[in-house]
Amino acid sequence: MTSESDETIQIYNVKDGRFDKSLLSRKYGVKLAKFTHTSSSIIYASTKQNGTIPTFLPQKDQKSLTFPDAIRYLATHDNSFIRYFEGHEAAVTCLAMHPGSDNFISCSLDNTARLWNLNTRNWTGKLHINTPFLSAWDPSGNVFAIGSPHSAIILLYDHRSYERGHFARFDVLEAVNNRGNPAPIEDVFSNWTKLEFSNDGKHLLLGSKGDGHFLLDAFNGSLKAYLKKPASGQGTRRVAPGEGPTEGSNGIESSGEVCFTPDGRFVISGGRQDLVAW
């Protein structure tokens, strides 16, 4: 599934290698579309306000009726909404589904990360963090990570006791310095597009739109490898989550063109022209 800049969702049949269907979201916009645990329902983030607000209402009431940053739960078989998840006060930058349940995490420019359950419209937990733009679940579903690019920090939480705060703090700058500064400083403090655990839970992949990606040890945060792209300037032109449009970009937020293979032996990444594997 892809969420497109033309405000459509495109779904493909991977087994047969064919296009399956197109869903429209002209009224609300669409980004960060994710499958839930059934192929017939998805969640995605809005990019527009919910319709027209009557001008005769007091300003405080108008605000209560606008949810430009809502998350939507959609049935794909008839393109009907099941539920809205409202609460974020700025653009959503990441959605991460729990690997085995109906829980998911959203990150936002309002400096909060929120926990939700598909069965209720209200968030079940909220964390106040500086620029929590990325999130990921470990394969067990017991631990989740929150990535803060402006602080160059990744925080790890126990899902069962996240209210107590993080139990691990990985400093990406420190990890890079300990390996002899192999990465450009702008990739350390910005350009982050993806956070993902390997399926064996041993590694944490931090994707970047810049010159390379970071492979971290999921237990101590050390830098196992800097996965440098073959040539400088091969990063995507799309902006990273939380960034505004830049010169030469098309203004579309990247949700990361890098991932582990299912067996965890390889990392695959796109570039401006090539497909690269490490």
Mean pLDDT (the chain) is 89
Distance CA 203, CA 156 (A): 13
What is the pLDDT, as a whole number, of residue 257?
Answer: 87
Average pLDDT over residues 230-250: 73
Sheet holding 31-35, edge to edge: 31-35, 41-45, 71-75, 80-85
Angle, alpha carbons 76-78-83 (nearest 5°): 65
What is the pLDDT, as a whole number, of residue 52?
Answer: 39
pLDDT band at residue 138 using 50, 70 and 90 as cut-offs:
very high
Distance CA 20, CA 8 (A): 13
pLDDT band at residue 80 using 50, 70 and 90 as cut-offs:
very high
Q: Tell me: pLDDT of 55 over 90.
A: no
Distance CA 67, CA 245 (A): 23
Percent share of the chain, pLDDT over 70: 89
Residue 77, CA distances (Å) to 11, 13, 195, 203 in order: 11, 14, 30, 36
Q: How many CB atoms lie within 10 A of CB 146?
A: 25
Q: Which of 12, 125, 130, 9 is nearest to 72 (CA)?
A: 9
Say if CB 195 and CB 240 are below 8 A apart. no
